[in-house]
Structure 1
Amino acid sequence: MSIRHGLLALLERGPRYGSQLRSEFESRTGATWPLNVGQVYTTLSRLERDGMVVQDGEDAAGHALYAITTEGRQELKNWYEAPVDRTSPARDELSIKLAMAVGAPGVDIRGVIQSQRHHTVKAMQDYTRLKSQALTAIEKAGAKGTQERDDVAWLLVLEQLIFQTEAEARWLDHCEARLIRLSAAVVPGAERTTAAPTAAAPAPLTTDH
């Protein structure tokens, strides 16, 4: 639903046309979640069907403009005020991959974890560099007495991505440590099971303990 509400948020600032909405959405989010024009117009059609936007004439270049309605403003207000539901998380490919890798024949699950950790840490470093650029842009704008909303919005998105990748890297460390501990607990048990028949014969071996 974020595309739907994101477009409503942009339309609250004034009438806009499809490709303009796409550009502004990507600018505000740093193109983290790129849109195509088809997605935008499909969403606009549904919003129009639901009475949340209306067509509002054309601009000088002939682009069809869309404007938010009273119903659309109320929907946007409700979205801002309601917390995002975390009780039904979206499917996470990495979690599913590791869950399927446990016990899978021929799969080195620790190798999967280490490969993913390398990728995750690199992504975190890239986001950190982009954060530095965003902070520089904000500082320059502040020195000029201006405030660029897109840079601030992009900074918030970047910081969320940094925290997310940091958490994922810690989780991967935890997964690997968990597997090591479980392996250490299981392997000695297996050794005792196979060693029992030979260890039972000589009595001195049992009495020394």
Structure 2
Amino acid sequence: MSVKQGLLALLAEEPMYGARLRSEFEARTGGTWPLNVGQVYTTIARLERDGLVEPVGGADDEGRIAYRLTPAGRDAIASWWLTPVDRDATPRDELVIKLALAVTSPGVDVQRVVQTQRTATLRHLRDLTRLKSRAGDEPDAHDLAWLLILENLLFAAEAEVRWLDHVESTLSRMPLSSLRRSATPREGTDAETADSEARSTPKGARA
């Protein structure tokens, strides 16, 4: 979820100024994605530039300016609610990149990398489970929003543990030495090819 759509969704309810937008955003997402006021006002400036929000009157006694949606802004947020999130773009996952490099890098103990990560992920999973156990039986709207986010994090952690188990199982069946040899170009290959081509080219044809 981008900050842009988040602020538009909040402004669809009523006009707000930057500090309140920030506090509402963090409260409704359980503080999972903290914002700073500068980021909020930078986003508002872009939304105003694009004709999606506009100021309501002038600044108040504390110098704050409230903003509201324009008709174009209301159309944009209405469209966002009914547009599925694009999953075609592949995000850069540091753990996936780390393990992809580890299996092709000489001297890296890949099993230890996997085990270390699993220990950390299981600890994170236990922390999330404890947080969920404290949730009330009849949550209000804000509690429900936090519970949904928490459960998403739980499912993601559980999936990561299963994937790490799969990685370890795969590694146990495939010798890393052979994989690393096939993934690593032979040293000097490019230089040897260039030198060979140079020797086979007549002197008069060389630039």
Q: Amino acid of the residue matched to residue 112 of structure 1?
A: V
Q: Amino acid of the residue matched to residue 163 of structure 1?
A: F
2:23 equivalent in structure 1: 23
* Distance across 1 between alignment mates of 2:43 and 2:121: 32
Q: 2:148 aligns with which of 130, 152, 156?
A: 156
Q: Amino acid of the residue matched to residue 40 of structure 1?
A: V
Q: How many aligned positions are there? A: 178
1:172 aligns with 2:164: yes
Measured after TM superposition, the shift of residue 59 of structure 1 is 4.9
1:50 equivalent in structure 2: 50
Tell me the TM-score normalised to structure 1 length: 0.79
Q: Deviations over 1:104-156 (max 9, x none)?
A: 122111111111111111111111222222x22xx3xx4xxxx6321111111
Q: Deviations over 1:59-78 (max 9, x none)?
A: 56442101111111111111
Instruction: Single out whichever of 124-133 and 66-75 deviates more from structure 2.
Output: 124-133
Measured after TM superposition, the shift of residue 31 of structure 1 is 1.1
* Distance across 2 between alignment mates of 1:70 and 1:55: 13
> Map of 1:19-168 to 2, 5 A cutoff?
19-57=19-57, 58-59=59-60, 61-133=62-134, 135-136=135-136, 139=137, 142=138, 148-168=140-160
Q: Amino acid of the residue matched to residue 31 of structure 1?
A: G
Q: Secondary structure at the match of 1:105?
A: coil
Tell me the TM-score normalised to structure 2 length: 0.80
Q: Secondary structure at the match of 1:67?
A: strand
* Distance across 2 between alignment mates of 1:169 and 1:40: 35
2:12 equivalent in structure 1: 12
1:204 equivalent in structure 2: none
Q: Deviations over 1:77-116 (max 9, x none)?
A: 1111111111112111111111111131221111111111
Measured after TM superposition, the shift of residue 183 of structure 1 is 2.8
RMSD: 2.1
Unmatched 5+ stretches in structure 1: 187-209
Measured after TM superposition, the shift of residue 27 of structure 1 is 0.8
CA shift in 2, pair 1:60/1:46, >3 Å: same
Percent identity (aligned):
55
